[in-house]
Amino acid sequence: MINEKDSEEHPLPDDLRALDEELSSIRYEERPSFGPELQAELARAWTTGPPTAVAVRPYLAAAALAGLLLAGVAVPSARASLVRILRVFDDVEPVEAPIRAAEVAAVPAPVEEARDAAAFVMVSRAETPAEAVEPVETTATLQPPIPPRMLDRAGAEALLQEAYPRHLQEERVGGLVWLRVWVDVDGRPSLPNVWRGSGVQELDVAALDVAPLLRFEPAVQSGQAVATWIEFPVLFDPEEEGDLPVIEPLTLDPMRLPIVHPRDQWEFDEPLDLATLPDWSGEAPSVLTPVESALVDAIGDPIVRRSLGPIESILSGIVPNGRAPTEWRASATAVLEGAMERAQANPAPLLALGRIRLRQGLRTDARMLFERGLRIAIDADPAVPPSVVAELHYERGRLTREGWLASADVGRVQSSAFEGRACAQARSSGQGVSGYASVERLIAWNYLCPQESSRVFERGFEAKNDDMADLSLTMGSFRAALDLVPGHVGSNVGLLVQLAAAERWEELLAGARRFARHSQGHPHALVLAGLALQRLGRTGEAAPLFDEALERLPSAEAVEIRDLTYVIDASEIARYRRLWGAERRDWEASYWLTRDRTPGTAVNEREIEHMARTTYAMLRFGGVMSDPGEVWVRFGGPKDVHIVDDGAGQLTEFWDYGSGPDITFVRRVASQTMDLTPEGRAYVDDLGKIFPPQ
């Protein structure tokens, strides 16, 4: 808030004062470990020391000429235009003659360079900056430097292709832009500028915009990385170049909807015999080990690899304990990009780098990396271990599922559906966009006049055109992973939960049994089979599966599946949640004992139904202790669901349970997390009072 003195001298009008107060009330929650981590990172950088004076051979002019003669790799584009980074860096041999001190003028880095504090650079080109000062002493025994080398050239060209202004492509305007970029000792580019323009300002700007995203292996002199300027040409070519190699876009065989697997692959007539399943000793290590080995092979140097911490961390993209995230991600990126260059037929580094990007929230980058990995795997088949390819398919499937979640079953309600309907209590008459009702109005009608509301939905709900391509691709990706590694846990769960959502219980049962067999009895396979059997009315068969799964699950998940928070009386919750271990299980057993509707039978049907619900909530909503998990466990699945897009980046789900109001949730686009709306929370709490848990 503007402080008192400020506000006395420069009072704000009321409306702006409210905004000022609102902006002032924002709190910024800094991650507690960030400060110490960065401090440690700075101390390390300080100890290592910034780069000192370096010398760069006069390779640039020769490189420029050579670059003009050499063709690059073409990148496919929607229209036949091309962007190429002409091969300058890795095609030019450093000149072997020693540097003579007389040729070298030392100049302080221009003012811009000081920003990056890369100390001094020695250049011998004619364009030595005018502010050159007296030469500094150098020795005549300096080794010729190895110039910087661009990493991930294809990725860079793809970025440039994206930056190529569309209207220039259509007007067939192209040009050659020479960029000049400072590459520091870590290979990071900065201070990009146009050394020689194309004559078309928009092309120059496009190249400049992409320059900071490029990645390099730093120049090396006498075995040490050194910072330097480099110059390179970027060719924007609007003409079709049929003779250049064009990388085909990745083609997969996405599974067609509806979600079906050929019966012969999925049908297991005989029931699972728990006695034949091997003892459970955690997730099958055989799925992960070849992936780790592939990554170890690609990275090569064990010292470099160990410097990044455990191989599991590199593979999962999780920053090891005690490491500064920024520094670790930068180091891991450099190592993995180096591995990509070195082991070009091995996609494991792409998998690891994609996961790092995923954890940084860079989904597009991650997806590009996974798809490049798959392309490599397809080209290099069968040299790539199937588990590596399965992981790539799985990660890609997870990313496309996000896209599908944002569009599946989404629609809007036409305002005209309210005509002739009345809800006197509802004050909200907010108009949505272009003849569609606002979400506020729909929620108000839902809770105040539920019967009228359901008619409005019946009459006016208009589903958008579902783009099922993402679901098809998601399921196709999971399926492809399972074809390679039938016991792959993530892909099995992803696919089977989708079958459960579609209430395809027979197929779920067959799939879960198959999953169980191929994963040596993974507990998620057992609970999913139990869920299917319970829904098919075969509770007696489901009970031993749940029992076995509870033995095999990690304790936190077992506790979650048994949890009674949502079904016991509110007065008992606090006491129940204080219990732990055997005491808690005894309490749960006595709870179910008094609620067995058929005490004469071996199975408590209500208990099994409860575990079927918690299983679904856990695997579908990411946890029982979530708002949708709570509603699902308490009330089971809704009869119908309407998802309304409010046009402002969030989706509102209306779960229809029959005659009363729907229960409403809000979900951000591309997020799998759902929360009850405030009205939904109030309604669910009220329901708990009216209908105490049974």
Partner 1 sequence: MRVEHEVPRTGRVASPRKDESVLPREFEAWYVEHRSAVFRYVRFRVATREAAEDVTSVVFMKALRSFDRYDPRRAAPRTWLLRIARNAVTDHLRALRRRGSLHVSLDRIPDLVADVPSQDERVIKQERIQRLLNGSQKLRKADQEILSLRYGTGLSNAEIAEHLDISNNAVAVRLHRALKRLKSCVEAMAADPIEDR
Q: Binding mask 588-627 vs partner 1 (x if CB under 8 A, - otherwise)?
A: ----------------------------------------
Among 90, 116, 297, 572, binds partner 1 (CB under 8 A): 116
C-beta atoms surrounding 518 within 10 Å? 18
Min dist CB 131 to partner 1, Å, is 11
Does residue number 364 form part of the binding site for partner 1 (CB under 8 A)?
yes
Total residues interacting with partner 1, rule: CB under 8 A = 76
Which residues between 147 and 176 bind partner 1 (CB under 8 A)? Answer: 159, 162-163
Q: CA nearest 616: which of 498, 519, 509, 513?
A: 498
Report the nearest approach of partner 1 to the CB of residue 567 (Å). 22
Query: Is 45 a residue that touches partner 1 (CB under 8 A)?
Result: yes
Which region holds residue 223: left if phi is over 0, alpha if psi is between -120 and 50, else beta?
left
Residues 6+ apart with CB under 8 A from 648: none
Show contacts with partner 1 in window 500-539 (CB under 8 A): none
Q: Which of 175, 290, 325, 628 binds partner 1 (CB under 8 A)?
A: 325
484, HSE (Cβ side, Cα atoms, 13 Å) = 24
Residue 369 binding partner 1, by CB under 8 A: no
Residue choice 76, 199, 271, 678 for contact with partner 1 (CB under 8 A): 678
Cα angle, residue 536 at apex, residues 535 and 540 outer, rounded to 5°? 90
CB of 326 to partner 1, least distance (A): 4
3-class secondary structure for 346-393? Answer: CCHHHHHHHHHHHHCCCHHHHHHHHHHHHHHHHHHCCCCCHHHHHHHH
Residues in a beta bridge with 190: 182
Residue 43 in the binding site for partner 1 (CB under 8 A)? yes
> Which of 483, 596, 609, 675 is the binder for partner 1 (CB under 8 A)?
675
Residues 6+ apart with CB under 8 A from 424: none
Candidates 340-348, 455-463, 484-492, 675-683: pick the segment binding partner 1 (CB under 8 A).
675-683
**Looking at 8, 12, 336, 628, which residue binds partner 1 (CB under 8 A)?**
12
Separation CA 562–CA 219 (nearest Å): 59
Task: Report the site for partner 1 in 635-654 (rule: CB under 8 A).
Answer: 646-650
Instruction: State which of residues 38, 244, 246, 603 lies at the interface with partner 1 (CB under 8 A).
Output: 38
Site string for partner 1, 244-283 (x = CB under 8 A): ----------------------------------------
Other beta carbons within 10 Å of 140: 10
23 binds partner 1, rule: CB under 8 A: yes
Residue 611 and residue 526 in contact, taking contact as beta carbons nearer than 8 Å: no
- Under the binding rule (CB under 8 A), the answer on residue 222 touching partner 1 is no
571 binds partner 1 (CB under 8 A): no
CB of 356 to partner 1, least distance (A): 12
Using the minimum distance from each CB to partner 1, give the nearer residue, 43 or 345: 43
- 111 belongs to the binding site for partner 1 (CB under 8 A): yes
The answer to whether 203 contacts partner 1 (rule: CB under 8 A) is no
Amino acid at 247: I
Residue 241 within binding range of partner 1, rule CB under 8 A: no
Among 120, 681, 687, 688, binds partner 1 (CB under 8 A): 681
Which letter, b or e, does each residue of 352-385 get, where b requires 16 or more Cβ atoms within 10 Å of its Cβ? Answer: bbbbbbbeeeebebbbbbbbbbbbbbeeeeeebb
Minimum gap (Å) between residue 210 Cβ and partner 1: 6
DSSP 8-state class, residue 659: S
Burial bucket for residue 351 (CB in 10 Å: 0-12, 13-18, 19+):
buried
Residue among 494, 497, 524, 516 at smallest CA distance from 508: 497
- Contact with partner 1 (CB under 8 A): which of 138, 193, 224, 316? 193
Please state the φ and ψ torsions of residue 120, each to the nearest 5 degrees: -120, 150
Contact status: 102 vs partner 1 (CB under 8 A): no
Decide if residue 429 touches partner 1 (CB under 8 A): no
Identify the residue among 8, 29, 127, 243 touching partner 1 (CB under 8 A): 29
**Long-range contacts at 244-248 (CB < 8 A, ≥ 24 apart):** 244/71, 244/73, 244/74, 244/82, 245/73, 245/74, 246/74, 246/76, 247/73, 247/74, 247/75, 247/76, 247/154, 247/375, 248/76
**Cis status, amide bond into 382, omega within 30 of 0:** yes
Residue 685 is a binding residue for partner 1 (CB under 8 A): no
